[in-house]
Structure 1
Amino acid sequence: MIRPVHIALAGAAAMAVAACTTTDPYTGQVVRDNTRTGVLAGAAGGALLGYLTNTNKGEQGRKNALIGAGVGALAGGAVGNYMDRQQAQLRAQLAGSGVDVQRQGDNIILNMPSDVTFAVDQADIQSRFYPVLDELAQTLNQYPQTTIDVIGHADSTGADAYNQALSERRASSVASYLVSRGVLRDRLYVAGRGESQPIASNDTEAGRAQNRRVEVILRPLTG
């Protein structure tokens, strides 16, 4: 089953660890990090940031929301050039991070293997991956005329229902972090697809490792 998820704040849990701070990578200032605080609170309480069933009214509804927020749509030859520049910047920023940057037509697909982003059987983002997501958020904010799908996937080990829930929590963690870094919430569609869309054989450990992933799909906003 494919079940989309929508991000909600876990305010009470975050308050329990309100003293968490981080160093802003762009200013060097020590500031409170609300997302990392929320993730830590979620881990302590046995849950991540909450998520609810997505009530988004479909792709057109997302486009309308963005246009209403003042994000203009791309048209004609501007689309390819816009995505080319965004792809080039992402490749440069994410080089050596373990994140694979692919292009399919006008769409950009970022493949984040779970061994880079998450510990085994966990949905808390590994702290060493924060700088990578900070770089990604910076580029996403520089190129606002794209929609962002964050899709979690799992291998076939374990029960289908468990894998589905894990894929949702991982996608929600990545999306929540991006929102905390200024990415407009209306751009996001968040979903978990469990073990339903493998990209390699689940019969080998190497194949299962490829299937455990979070994909971020960037699509140009067109009229």
Structure 2
Amino acid sequence: MRTLLLKTATLVLCLTAAGCSNFKFDNLFAFDKDKPLAQEVTEAAKARKAKIDHEATAAWLDKYEQRLRDELKGSKFEVSREENTLIVTAPVDSSFNPDRPGLLMPAVLAPITKVAKLVEADPETGVLVLGHADSSGDDKRNRELSQERASAVASIFRLSGLRSDRLIHKGVGSDMPRAANDSKEGRALNRRVEVVLTQRHTLVALLARYVKPAEPKPELAASQSK
């Protein structure tokens, strides 16, 4: 069996690594354009002024990392700390119903709810939920499915009281693999949902760097130039 590629950059690594400077999510928030957090990210991207307070963010991460690991002990969720974020990774194969692939399994509702309750009480927290797929099958369907799974996890946070000014979610299909897609094991690693947790203003700053504001429509641009 071919050796799997080393874990490649996820969104968070792209947000913090200089080598991803050309990485863009031009329409990342188009589906959620009326949500407060998405609006704030868009405005920050336009202004190009969002900055990260690394010291304050590190203190936040220190405060929550062990608590998060304790809450998820015994589950199949992974917890990692990447630069300015904490990431909870839920593998699809043990988290979603195989017959209804966008539906969470009952066994994972409690762990996700624990995470949601932990951060809901802290108004400084921002949450990004990313759904991922492997590259097998139809690309359009993979994107739809990754969106459905991200929505399913995000709904637990909403039910726990997290407001839309602190929560955003997106399915990215197979764009950001963890491993090669040429083996069963690699594809299983790539099918996942990631919950990215950090301070709210830090999340806005991270995402704003990699969102390209929409270009004005030609007719609007013409009218503004008159």
Displacement of 1:151 in angstroms is 0.5
Contact map agreement 2:60 2:198 (CA 8 A) in 1: no
- d(CA) in 1 for partners of 2:121 and 2:88? 17
Whole-angstrom CA distance in 2 between matches of 1:101 and 1:125: 19
Is the Cα contact below 8 Å between 1:4 and 1:189 reproduced in 2?
no
TM-aligned CA deviation for residue 222 of structure 1: 3.8
Structure 2 residue 69 is the aligned partner of structure 1 residue 87 = no
How far did residue 221 of structure 1 move?
3.0
Alpha-carbon distance between aligned partners in 1 of 2:130 and 2:193, rounded to the nearest angstrom? 6
Q: 1:119 to 1:186 in 2, by over 3 A?
A: same
1:153 matched residue in structure 2: 132
Give 1:182-221 correspondences, 5 Å limit: 182-221=161-200
Name the CA distance, whole Å, in 1 between partners of 2:54 and 2:142. 41
Aligned-partner Cα distance in 2 for 1:193–1:147:
19
Q: Which runs of 5+ in 2 are unaligned?
A: 1-23, 45-51, 203-226
**Residue type matched to 1:135 in 2?**
K
TM-score, structure 2 normalization:
0.67
Higher relative contact order (CA 8 A, sep 6+): 2
The answer to whether structure 1 residue 131 and structure 2 residue 110 are counterparts is yes
RMSD: 2.7
**Cα distance per residue 1:62-102 (max 9 Å; x no partner):** 9xxxxxxxxxxx95643322211111110010112111111
Partner of 2:149: 170
Higher helix fraction: Structure 1 or Structure 2?
2
Give, in angstroms, the shift of residue 61 of structure 1. 4.9
8 Å Cα contact 1:4/1:190 also seen in 2 = no
Alignment counterpart, residue 84 of structure 2, candidates 96, 102, 106? 106
Q: Percent identity?
A: 32
Hey, which bits of structure 1, 4+ residues long, moved more than 4 A?
1-5
CA contact (8 A) 2:54 2:84 kept: no
- Contact 2:127–2:197 (Cα < 8 Å) also in 1: yes
Question: Which amino acid in structure 2 is aligned with residue 57 of structure 1?
Answer: Q
- Provide the rounded CA distance (Å) in 2 between the counterparts of 1:169 and 1:99: 19
